[in-house]
Amino acid sequence: MTTRRSFLSTVATGAAAAALARRARAATAKPPLGLQLYSLRKQLEKDVPGTLKQIKAWGIDDVESFGPHNGMTAAALKDAGLRCQAFHVGSDRLNGEMATVLKEADALGVTTVINPFLSFAKPPFATREEILRAAGEFAKWSKACRAAGKRFAYHIHGQEFGPDGQGTLFDLLAKESGPDVGFEADVFWITAGGADPVKLMGQYPGRFWFTHLKDMAKTEGAVKDRANVVLGTGSIDIKGVVAAGAAAGVEMHYLEDESAAVLSQVPSSVAYYRSL
């Protein structure tokens, strides 16, 4: 016999199960695939509107800019049906022109400002002192961005994985920069720096907002040659990265391809991502 109490208990149990199912789906859902415009820098130099329309034709809706916007305008993005929610800005401008950077972000609809590398650190690894300097700057830039309704993140470039005690200098950077600073995991350069992007994202849930998806050729000297290949055909576990990213809260994967065959490789990489 079904009583009111048993009915309500059943409803509550069902609601709890549904909530758990929604959380499980969210934890495994793939975020959108965007494109880092540095991939098409040569094409953009010749034809911004045409290049943006080509990106849209590949089925991509989001782009990430560099420099900070290489001649693009909000109108050009709108005409192509694209969004630009993040752009890269160098340390010199973030230190000396933050107000201008934030105005440029507003003009393009950018919500996250990203610093692309430690310009003052020499490869292969930064020193502990350089990491602490970077952490201090990141905290300062993050505060300025948040005051303007935006976020700040750092694009990992492989310089951050020198040893530091029981961990790495990246552990120090993540701790000292503060929880408001996010990261963009360039899986090629993380791998080149000797770290595992899958494990790294698992260690820092919520801190990795974006990735640069790029696969590394299975050839000697691939790092030195910046040898990017179609996603899923190289030495990096792209499938594992995507799964780890979903669990860690990655919001967007930006495809980046620095190869000479970028125009043919990007559509194949997009197809691979959709197949996962």
pLDDT tens-digit map of 130-143: 999 999 999 999 99
Phi, psi (5° rounding) for residue 33? -105, 120
Lowest mean pLDDT among 14-18, 130-134, 206-210: 14-18
Residues 59 and 126: their CA atoms lie apart, in Å, by 38
Residues 28 and 17: their CA atoms lie apart, in Å, by 17
Asked if pLDDT for residue 145 goes beyond 80, the answer is yes
Which residues, at least 6 apart from 189, have a Cβ–Cβ distance to it below 8 Å?
156, 157, 158, 212
Q: Does domain 32-275 have CATH number 3.40.50.2000?
A: no
Query: What are the angstrom distances between the C-alpha of 103 and each of 9, 34, 82, 100, 150?
Result: 54, 23, 19, 5, 11
Asked if pLDDT for residue 156 goes beyond 70, the answer is yes
- Considering the chain, what is the average pLDDT of its residues? 90
* In the chain, % of residues over pLDDT 90: 85
Tokens of 59: 């089925």
pLDDT value at position 271?
98
Residues 39 and 25: their CA atoms lie apart, in Å, by 32
Residue type for position 227: A
Q: Which of 51, 84, 38 is nearest to 212 (CA)?
A: 38
Bridge partners (DSSP) of residue 185 are: 156, 211
Predicted model pTM = 0.88
Which residues, at least 6 apart from 58, have a Cβ–Cβ distance to it below 8 Å?
35, 266, 267, 270
> What's the rounded mean pLDDT across residues 192-221?
97
Residues 240 and 118: their CA atoms lie apart, in Å, by 27
pLDDT value at position 8?
37
pLDDT value at position 70?
63
Q: Where residue 68 falls among pLDDT bands split at 50, 70, 90?
A: low
pLDDT value at position 67?
73
Which position has the higher pLDDT, 189 or 19? 189
pLDDT value at position 133?
97
> What's the rounded mean pLDDT across residues 92-109?
96
Asked if pLDDT for residue 7 goes beyond 50, the answer is no
pLDDT value at position 13?
41
Residues 89 and 64: their CA atoms lie apart, in Å, by 11
Q: Where residue 72 falls among pLDDT bands split at 50, 70, 90?
A: confident
Is residue 189 a contact partner of residue 156, using CB atoms and an 8 Å limit? yes
